């Protein structure tokens, strides 16, 4: 193949390497499985060492993009391999669980470790997972905004369970890394349908009455995003 043909193909395919870090149980593997296979499991299966995933997709009207994602187990913190996993990363995602304050506090510890291991930070983002259980939130959005702005991190909130925000988070980061401006159409096409569970009609759902009393509604189905 001539050089010019080779260059032509290189123009058609862009490769992006993403590394995901964060405390154990925050949902790193779940985020990747939602993004790559559109699947979710409620069972926890600890990642030992690191796993590697690939997703290829045509970037809206432009290139074929091949995204390699390294899923680093939470127990790899300070592990001797962490530097190898981070090698040549284009984007690093620091992940926390919005219902687990300690997992957010540890993001800064992971960030310090990254700074120790890399001479120069690549593009970085902080991602809060499990927004389907917003009612159990223990991390204040304002604290995340301050941290992200001080550290110059992109910030997203997602649910790997329902898929909310997942495609958009990856699309925005990849587009920003490749310096491709996104149109509103591009973003809308990436939005996944959020799946909600239907509770059976027998479920006792409290209905707030004006007189400070709760009555239990047993007659209608309720769509609940859990
Ligand atoms: N409600 C809810 N649960 C989630 C979500 N994402 C992950 N989980 C659950 O959280 C648990 C941990 O998810 P994992 O993806 O295995 O976590 P991890 O960060 O890869 O953990 P390590 O491999 O130990 O580092 C599992 O039981 C998941 O089902 C989410 O968006 N919402
Ligand atoms: Mg894992």
Structural domains for the chain: 3-188 (3.40.50.300), 194-225 (no CATH)
DSSP 167-204: HHHHHHHHHHHTT-PPPHHHHHHHPPPPP-EEEPTTS-
pTM of the entire predicted model:
0.83
> What is the average pLDDT across 159-181?
95
Q: Would the CB of 46 count as within 6 Å of ligand 1?
A: yes
- Which value, in Å, is the radius of gyration of the alpha carbons in the chain? 20
Q: Would the CB of 66 count as within 6 Å of ligand 1?
A: no
**What spacing in Å lies between the alpha carbon of 21 and ligand 1's midpoint?**
13
- pLDDT at 195 > cutoff 80: no
Q: Would the CB of 26 count as within 6 Å of ligand 1?
A: yes
Model confidence at 6, pLDDT cuts 50, 70, 90, reads very low
DSSP code at position 56: E
| Ligand 1 site-directed mutation target among 27, 38, 169, 195, most atoms within 8 Å of CB | 27
Both tokens of residue 146? 């301050």
Ligand 2 ion local residues (Cβ < 5 A): 29, 47
- pLDDT at 199 > cutoff 80: no
- pLDDT at 104 > cutoff 70: yes
pLDDT tens sequence across 178-192: 998 888 777 776 665
Model confidence at 4, pLDDT cuts 50, 70, 90, reads very low
Q: Would the CB of 74 count as within 6 Å of ligand 1?
A: yes
């Amino acid at each position: 193949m001539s050089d010019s043909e080779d260059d032509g193909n290189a123009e058609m395919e862009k490769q992006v390497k993403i590394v995901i870090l964060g405390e154990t149980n925050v949902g790193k593997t779940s985020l990747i499985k939602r993004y790559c296979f559109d699947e979710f499991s409620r069972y926890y299966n600890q990642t030992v060492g690191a796993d590697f995933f690939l997703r290829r997709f045509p970037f809206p009207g432009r290139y074929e993009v091949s995204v390699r994602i390294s899923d680093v187990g939470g127990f790899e913190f300070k592990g001797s391999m962490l530097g190898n996993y981070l090698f040549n990363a284009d984007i690093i995602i620091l992940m926390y669980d919005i219902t687990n304050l300690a997992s957010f506090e540890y993001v800064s510890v992971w960030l310090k470790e990254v700074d120790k291991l890399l001479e120069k930070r690549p593009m970085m983002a902080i991602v809060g997972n499990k927004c389907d259980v917003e009612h159990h939130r223990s991390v204040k959005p304002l604290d995340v905004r301050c941290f992200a702005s001080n550290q110059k991190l992109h910030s997203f909130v997602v649910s790997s369970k329902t898929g909310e925000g997942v495609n958009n988070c990856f699309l925005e980061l990849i587009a920003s890394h490749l310096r491709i401006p996104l149109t509103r159409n591009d973003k809308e096409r990436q939005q996944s349908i959020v799946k909600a569970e239907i509770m059976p009609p027998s479920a006792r759902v409290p209905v707030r009455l004006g007189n400070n009393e709760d009555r239990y509604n047993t007659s209608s189905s309720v769509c609940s995003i859990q």
